[in-house]
Structure 1
Amino acid sequence: MRPDVLTAPDPGDVTTEAARRRAFAVISHPDAGKSTLTEALALHAHAIAEAGHVNGKSGRRHTVSDWMDMEKARGISITSASLQLTYRDTVLNLLDTPGHADFSEDTYRVLAAVDAAVMLIDAAKGLEPQTMKLFNVCKHRGIPIITVINKWDRPGREPLALMDEIAERTGLTPTPLTWPVGIAGDFRGVLDRSTGEYVRFTHTAGGARIAPEERLPATAALEREGQAWVDAAEEAELLTVAGANHDTETFLAGISTPVLFASAVRNFGVHALLDVLVDLAPTPGPRPTVTGGPRSVEDPFSAFVFKMQAGMDAAHRDRLAYVRICSGVFERGMVVTTARTGRPFATKYAQQAFGRDRHVVEHAYPGDVVGLVNASDLQVGDTLYAGPAVRFPPLPAFAPEHFTVARAVDAGRYKQFRRGIAQLDAEGVVQVLRSDLRGDQAPVLAAVGPMQFEVAQHRMATEFNAPIHLEPLGYTVAMRTTQTWVPVLEAERGTEVLRRDTGELLALFTDKWRLQTVQRQHPDADLTALVAA
């Protein structure tokens, strides 16, 4: 069959395969252990042979998901990664997200592509600012949340105090599925609240292998652990009396959150999380569209681009578009339509990627994430479809708070400079703004956080062989405006108007007080706020 001749997917097959999928992201504050947990999940699902650790001792491996040189050097994730695992005949599409707050835009785009989230909390630090920001995004999008209290092998807070904090700060009712045996720093195992059994963990060298688990009845647990078991059982009984028991309906409605205790670095409690994802996380469902009703998973193929990534293979200057399948069946080689342009796009090269590891994809179903290679015509937020036209809501760009002028160090490499800047803009690494006054040789880079500039500068030098100078600008506030108001705004002190490649105009102000002054002087000015990070 020719790849551009489409047959309607068998609704039964699509429904069955979609029901086997779980698409979820891991969110948390930096250094809570997201990448380590990602590797632990891959280890327990037998996708990798050994787990790596971030900032570990000499001789330990880097996590597979952190593939960029900057990620390895700093021990943090600065780009999202995808991984497909199979566990208990269920396909788990895991999206690891950047931990640093400067990369909130990337994380927001990832959250648009998942159906559930795992919120990772440091046992000693509790809910931190970035965790709360990402929680609020999940709440806004209606994404159910599974909570994991990580690093229980280190000194930390009382478990009941952590439950109180989750309830008070998120408004969710925590419903622990497991309860720790042993205080934080003395992690022996967990009490399984559904069975009353003791799940005992055994340490492995360096935490690189799956930690053996042993299930014991309550009587054997009491004999082995003594007072630690008594304390855990009494606290678990308090939870039962308080009504903190799992309820599927309230979990999916975003009212409650199942809680697990774990140590990702030691691979403790990881199997329990995999089981919870299979048993409790939602399957892909209908997706809202810009026009008309929601797109059902049984409808003809549709997907949207939530991330662009280049530079993953130093030998090939390819460009990978990550797409989330929303409906129908993806078949490698099929020709689909890009809703933004109306142009056809051939999917001859389709892959799944985790770090730099890639595998060819022949078929994919709703909930899956596929990387389309050589996707130079695609942009973040694009809808792809076969059959009747459809378009999913666009992904908003966050309001930038940092601005700098980029100039090529070597004027003779201007072609590489332009290509590199355009690439970073398309990927969403930074937002690129221009004006006739500044010209194409001095575009303004805009970002939510300054570390985005470091990534841009690093990639311009290493991938495009076009090193750049950065000259910081004194603006901190950006607002949308229209062409009518450009002359008026540019006449004001501490204000400049620049445009995105889409034609959208942004008015930049030195600070919020300058903005307020301009608004008082021109109360009718067309100034609209962007989405806050």
Structure 2
Amino acid sequence: MQSFFRKAYTSLSAAPAASKTNLLKNMTMGRALNQSKMMIQSQNLMNSAITRRAFSIIDTKIMRNIGISAHIDSGKTTITERILFYTGKIDEIHEVKGSDNVGATMDSMELEREKGITIKSAATHCEWKDHHINIIDTPGHVDFTIEVERALRVLDGAILLICGASGVQPQTLTVDKQMKRYSVPRVIFINKLDRMGADPWNCIENVRERLGLNCAAVQVNIGVENGLQGICDLVKMKALYFEGEKGRDVVEREIPDDLKEFCDKKKQELITILAENDPTIEEYYLNEDFNIPIDVLKKSIREQTIAQKFCPVMMGSAYKNKGVQPLLDGVLDYLPNPEESNNYAYDIQDKTKKVKMDIDNKKPFVGLAFKLEESQFGQITYVRIYQGKVKKGSTLNNTATKKKVKISRMVRMHSNNMEDISEAGAGDIFAIFGVDCASGETFCDQSVNFTMEDMHVPEPVMSLTIRPKKQDQLEIFLKALNRFQREDPTFVVKQNQESEEIIISGMGELHLFIYCERMKREYDIDLAVGNPTVNYRETISQKAQFNFLHKKQSGGAGQFARVIGYIEPLNSDMDSQDADLSCQFVDGTEGQNIPNEYIPAVEKAFHESTKKGPQTGYPVVGVKYVLTDGQTHVVDSSSLAFAIATRYSFKEAYEKAGPQILEPVMNVEVTVPAEFQASIMGQLVRRRGSITNTQTKTGYFILNADVPLAAMFGYATELRGCTQGQGEFSMEYKMHSPVGEFEIKDIIDAYQRKRAEKGEDI
């Protein structure tokens, strides 16, 4: 309204005297009309949101908590932008790396808009057909996989995007594994059907074969590539076209004649798959009656999707504004509300006891802090409520730190913007300010003491040395490192005790580069960064016995301890994605040859010995230490003596147990124009790659290979050079695997040189 009066005053001042009377009259009428429109819009807004936003508590039956996940560059942020536009949350569509220099709404970081990738997950919320939808847009790049991990940990459902041209890609496999880990039902959306080589039916076969999902199309595309016009809904058996501004108007028509037979065939396929798990649909199928009522068909799809026995497949092109509104309908029709998801907590007093969380506002509050961010207002903590409700001003317990926290400010997030709320109820996602906590901690009402199930945090695979060039920036540098560690569990900071170098570790080159760049931009720190190093590991390949006596007498109380037992590998095959990289201690003693009070000292000393392997200085993994017997002295035995004996016994047995060095192996996918096929295969073979799959799609060659991470440094530059800038690749951690015999000597020699430079005994 203020802008209206400013414009009116400017017009009136500039008008000729004779025109001022008429202009003023028109302005008065216009003002009244404008006020009337604003009142109507305001009233409509209040009617639709009064029970949800003004009072904050949202009915869980009309709530959906969803995430959008996929391989990098599959269109996650683009589809989120369309969802926000069609639900009225934003007024304009902006593209990732947009030409208007604005960028997509959910990419709020400057780095995200520059690079056209999502770096951190972002939360928003919107309204669609009287339902409230909380959305988390997640990164696609494997280096930021923890963002996907913790989003899926707290969500009730998800949209899995598949590129219509590329099909199932490496990160799609990772996302699928994460969804299965947290039992998250999903709908599948085959995006980018406007791209050259797009084939939704090949994608569906890909999903069945590579992901092992029971899925079927609930839509059929009308046209493909440049000829994509709309979709056919197999549940309603209607064609949908997207017209008007940015495809906002969904127009329902009869299915085109040339597609009727194909749609009938695909609907029969859908019913056949549903009939496998639904007696009601099976009855229709056995009677060869495929005219199933819409509500019966939707109910079957919904029940099987929530039970994770089936995945409905939808399709379209977010960039071309086709298929997004039906996808939103699918979220409401097929994905669960919070009441339909099963979530469990552990009782702090007895962590073997699982307690089912009830989506009930009357129950004691239980919420999980699943993500942290620093803002100009302080730390923002994202919380998912699993039980009960919380009001502004409430006091809660942090069950990890045993501290009480007061909730002084509550907000709903919309990317980097926020809306203040006064309370939130069961099943909801919101954010709080001014609470000191770490990611993964549980908040409870003071009447209960629960902790939610932990999320999976992958181990870092790459490290860099880092320091500020100016000594006076050390304090702010350490502050930045501390902040990033709290935000991201996969970003690990350690200090080398001998050299006092600070080492940062993460999930890959891009992951560490982004944090270095953020320190420069957000804290104005000039950094000196060392070369990337690979996080090797050591292990053993065979069983070895030990019988070590530690005996020392130098006047006064002496030291005496004998430990007997063996070490053996935990894994029969280290070349496996399921290989156990932990170390285990087993107390196999009988009788009292070693008193019980010394056993903890033995266990602790063993685990300390595995922190730094004798060959490379990297941790030892996959080893079981079994203590079977020992010997003590009445006077000279002590916990210290047994700790020393354990360290020496491990070293002695380790040398006889066939020590091996393990290196991280990456699953690499390269996509290049077909004419560069031979050179690409040669490149990866030279880099010690093992090719696992190849395919050709409409002028493009796609290659999958397992390649050691150490051999992948500098590959981006080489790939661009030999493909005239047209090649692209992605990689994700697959497993640790034994290093080849030709590389072992180089790794050990490098470690020995490093020790010699520090003046250590070799």
The TM-score, its normalising length taken from structure 2, stands at 0.59
- State how far apart, in whole Å, the 1-side matches of 2:419 and 2:427 are: 18
- State how far apart, in whole Å, the 2-side matches of 1:25 and 1:103 are: 15
The CA deviation string for residues 248-300 of structure 1, in whole angstroms up to 9 with x for no partner, is 33212222101111211122111111111112211114421123321212221
Q: 1:521 to 1:75 in 2, by over 3 A?
A: same
SS at match of 1:169: helix
Partner of 1:239: 269
Same amino acid, percent of matched pairs: 21
1:282 equivalent in alignment to 2:336? yes
- State how far apart, in whole Å, the 1-side matches of 2:261 and 2:199 are: 12
Partner of 2:402: 342
Q: Greater CA deviation, 192-201 or 489-498? A: 489-498
What are the residue-to-residue correspondences of 1:313-324 with 2, within 5 Å? 316=376, 318-324=378-384
- State how far apart, in whole Å, the 2-side matches of 1:338 and 1:438 are: 37
The structure 2 residue matched to 1:378, chosen from 434, 437, 449, is 437
Q: 1:211 to 1:16 in 2, by over 3 A?
A: closer
1:172 equivalent in alignment to 2:306? no
The structure 1 residue matched to 2:253, chosen from 216, 220, 227, is 216
5+ unaligned residues in a row in structure 2: which ranges? 1-54, 275-296, 348-352, 538-580, 584-602, 621-650, 665-732, 736-762
SS at match of 1:451: helix
Q: Residue 447 of structure 1 contacts residue 453 of structure 1 at CA under 8 Å; is this kept in 2?
A: yes
State the AA in 2 paired with 1:490. K
SS at match of 1:391: strand
State the AA in 2 paired with 1:382. E
SS at match of 1:107: helix
What are the residue-to-residue correspondences of 1:308-457 with 2, within 5 Å? 308-310=372-374, 312=375, 316=376, 318-375=378-435, 377-386=436-445, 387-428=447-488, 430-439=491-500, 442-457=501-516
Q: CA deviation at 1:415?
A: 1.2
SS at match of 2:534: coil
What are the residue-to-residue correspondences of 1:239-318 with 2, within 5 Å? 239-240=269-270, 242-243=272-273, 247-284=301-338, 285-291=341-347, 292=353, 293-298=355-360, 299-310=363-374, 312=375, 316=376, 318=378
Partner of 2:77: 35
SS at match of 2:251: strand
Q: Residue 142 of structure 1 contacts residue 253 of structure 1 at CA under 8 Å; is this kept in 2?
A: no
Query: Which structure has more RCO (C-alpha within 8 Å, separation ≥ 6)?
Result: 1
Q: Residue 191 of structure 1 contacts residue 232 of structure 1 at CA under 8 Å; is this kept in 2?
A: no
Q: 1:524 to 1:419 in 2, by over 3 A?
A: farther
Partner of 1:163: 204
Paired residues, what number?
483
Q: 1:335 to 1:286 in 2, by over 3 A?
A: farther
5+ unaligned residues in a row in structure 1: which ranges? 1-12, 499-516
Bigger CA radius of gyration:
2
- State how far apart, in whole Å, the 1-side matches of 2:433 and 2:456 are: 24
- State how far apart, in whole Å, the 2-side matches of 1:333 and 1:360 are: 13
**CA RMSD for the aligned pairs?**
3.0
The CA deviation string for residues 406-431 of structure 1, in whole angstroms up to 9 with x for no partner, is 21221111111111111111011612
Q: CA deviation at 1:233?
A: 2.8
- State how far apart, in whole Å, the 1-side matches of 2:652 and 2:91 are: 60
SS at match of 2:472: helix
Q: 1:469 to 1:483 in 2, by over 3 A?
A: farther
SS at match of 1:247: helix
- State how far apart, in whole Å, the 2-side matches of 1:132 and 1:64 are: 27
- State how far apart, in whole Å, the 2-side matches of 1:438 and 1:17 are: 57
- State how far apart, in whole Å, the 1-side matches of 2:421 and 2:58 are: 19
Partner of 1:484: 605
Partner of 1:521: 655
Q: Residue 378 of structure 2 contacts residue 433 of structure 2 at CA under 8 Å; is this kept in 1?
A: yes
Q: 1:494 to 1:179 in 2, by over 3 A?
A: same
Partner of 1:19: 61
Q: 1:237 to 1:371 in 2, by over 3 A?
A: closer
Q: 1:488 to 1:320 in 2, by over 3 A?
A: closer
Q: Residue 536 of structure 2 contacts residue 618 of structure 2 at CA under 8 Å; is this kept in 1?
A: no
Q: CA deviation at 1:157?
A: 3.4
Q: 1:60 to 1:317 in 2, by over 3 A?
A: closer
Structure (1 or 2) with the greater helix fraction: 2
The CA deviation string for residues 309-335 of structure 1, in whole angstroms up to 9 with x for no partner, is 12x4xxx26221111111111212211
- State how far apart, in whole Å, the 2-side matches of 1:237 and 1:19 are: 29
Partner of 1:110: 151
Partner of 1:140: 181
The structure 1 residue matched to 2:126, chosen from 85, 95, 105, is 85
State the AA in 2 paired with 1:217. E
Q: Greater CA deviation, 23-32 or 165-174? A: 165-174
Q: 1:82 to 1:522 in 2, by over 3 A?
A: farther
- State how far apart, in whole Å, the 2-side matches of 1:137 and 1:462 are: 32
